[in-house]
Amino acid sequence: MIHIRKGAFQECVDLSSKIPEFTSPYKIEVYKKRCAGKYLALIAEIDNQSVGFKIGYDRLNDGSFYSWMGGVLPKFRRMGVAYSLANFQEKWATNNKFSSILLKTRQKHDGMIAFSLNRGFIITEETQITPAEETRIWMQKSLNH
């Protein structure tokens, strides 16, 4: 069974260092700076082991909640962990009067793009970068209140 709870920055940093897609994970100072205002840090656990995280904050102060970072350890993927984290985040954002969830990913993270599209996100913008796999993909999902 997957258990979702609020977590600490250090837990997110520790998990991000174990996720192979993050080639240069952020240090705790970046988490503290970005999440100085309203934020939510989540940890997913299976059998009391931390297996994933998701963290977001009020980046633009425009009613959207920015889903900044997240990931699931490779051996725990395809078990509903990311789905459970996203559900918790969306419910929290709705309860905290945010009107949408906003995220940015990279073209090379096709799994994240597909996951987000399946959850009702739409692509709102692409920022072309060379090489092309680094192109930034902005996505947004409206929340129903």
3-15 residues labelled b (16+ CB within 10 A) or e (exposed): ebeebebebbbbb
- Say what the pTM is: 0.94
Closest-CA residue to 3 (of 45, 40, 34, 39):
45
| Consecutive H or E run containing 40 | strand 39-46
pLDDT tens-digit readout, 31-54: 999 999 999 999 999 999 999 999
CATH numbers and ranges of domains, the chain: 2-142 (3.40.630.30)
- Alpha-carbon radius of gyration of the chain: 14
pLDDT tens-digit readout, 59-112: 999 999 999 999 999 999 999 999 999 999 999 999 999 999 999 999 999 999
Instruction: Report d(CA 17, CA 128) in Å as an integer.
Output: 27
